[in-house]
Amino acid sequence: MSVRVIGLLLLMALGSSWGLVQGSAPTTLAGAVLGSGVWLMVDALHSNRLLQWLGKADIDRQLRLPGLWGELLDRNRKLVKKLEKKAQSSADRLDDFLAAIQASPNGVVLLDASDRIEWSNLTAAQHLGFDPQRDLGQYVRNMVRNPSFMAYMETGDFQHEIQFDVPGQRLSHPHRISLQIHPYGKKRRLMLTRDVTAVQMAEAMRRDFVANVSHEIRTPLTVLSGFVETMQSIPLEDSERQRYLGLMSQQAQRMQTLVSDLLTLSRLEGSPAPGPGEWITAQELAEHVVQEAHGLSSAIAVPVHDIAQEDAPVFWVSGVKTELLSAMSNLLSNAVRYTPPGGRIRVGWRNTEEGSAEFFVRDSGPGIAAEHLPRLTERFYRVDRSRSRETGGTGLGLAIVKHVAQRHGGQVKAESVLGEGSRFAIVLPASRVRQQSS
């Protein structure tokens, strides 16, 4: 401030000196006024330049001012930089927050006091069927026209969530959406959505599983109970008693097999996927299950089946030996159970063009209709329930095969033609196959 005062006084002094040189008092006064006027004009020019710079807030613009105005300019430049840095930091934090919400598997919609869409992440837009950019500012009731949602908005009771179906990628498979609204701020609302389709399907599968297990166990238990009651209440000859005991043993064996398969499935689902494991000769695995199949055929078929292992190059496969044997045995035992006595069954391994390995079982049985093939690996799914029970099947064999194949990075293939037989195969990826070195 003192610098400005000194400058003003100097200009006035110069003006007065000019007046004294002229030799009159009025001229001296006029010189002083002129000097102060020049100072005020320069001062106003500097202040105007500073105000223009502040109005544009362009800190990168090079501007230099003398004296106090230069000091004010530097201080304002620092203040503007600080404010811009703070604003950029807030913007970055907001972007990070919005990016986190965008990545959320749950849908988020912000509604204003009039229930118009202020912001939405992509997940909510997909759940509810609107565009997160184009439909900003639209009334949410115009975007979501489900009757359950409309009633939910009308009642205004948001203490609980609602669930309703929305169209999926396929009209025959709608998605189930859970939605709840949470009021916040000044009459604003936060709407959260989540896709509960998988949860609903899992619950339905659990119910079906419990019902199927109960049904499968109830039948042999009923038979056992009936035989026990008969033997307790009616005198039987030795031949009849032996026949009843044989039937009871058969039903007990059936329940034991069912429990064993259930435990196998539970173990497969509850344990981590196997690593590389040990390397086993593919032909050794095939020989083992073929031997078992001969024993099963001798026990249930007269005449026995024509079971043979086809020749193949020698190679090794990697995995859990017990799991691979279980899957292969299930495929082969199914062929034995469903192929008429004396039928032809061929078993073997082969290499594919992609470098993977395929264990196949081909039979001359009655074949399977095309509509059944996609569902064969479902638990307890049977093409012919009566035939399966007669041969001792539990309906879990192909489900076990599918789980073993998937755990080893492979898949199950099924091909069949009615009246011509079926072909089932387990395909293991190339990473689990090692060829014999030449």
pLDDT 10s digits, 147-185: 999 999 998 889 899 999 887 655 556 788 999 999 998
Q: Check residue 138 and give its pLDDT.
A: 92
pLDDT confidence band for 53 (50 / 70 / 90): low
320-324, 342-346, 358-362, 388-392: lowest mean pLDDT where?
388-392
Q: Minimal CA–CA distance to 292: which of 334, 252, 256?
A: 334
User: What integer is the mean pLDDT of 74-88?
Assistant: 75
Name 308's bridge partners.
346
CA dihedral 98, 103, 108, 109 (to 10 degrees): 50
367 DSSP 8-state letter: -
Beta-bridge mates of residue 414: 424
Distance CA 168, CA 202 (A): 18
The pTM assigned to this predicted structure is 0.56
For residue 27, what are its two tokens? 């001229």
| pLDDT level of residue 11 (50, 70, 90 thresholds) | very low
Report the alpha-carbon distance of residue 274 to residue 117 in Å, rounded.
48
Portion of the chain with pLDDT greater than 90, in percent = 21
Residue 232 — pLDDT band, cuts 50, 70, 90? confident
Euclidean distance between CA atoms 234 and 142, whole angstroms? 75
Side-chain-side CA neighbours of 402 within 13 Å: the count stands at 15
**Contact, 380 vs 207, CB < 8 A?**
no
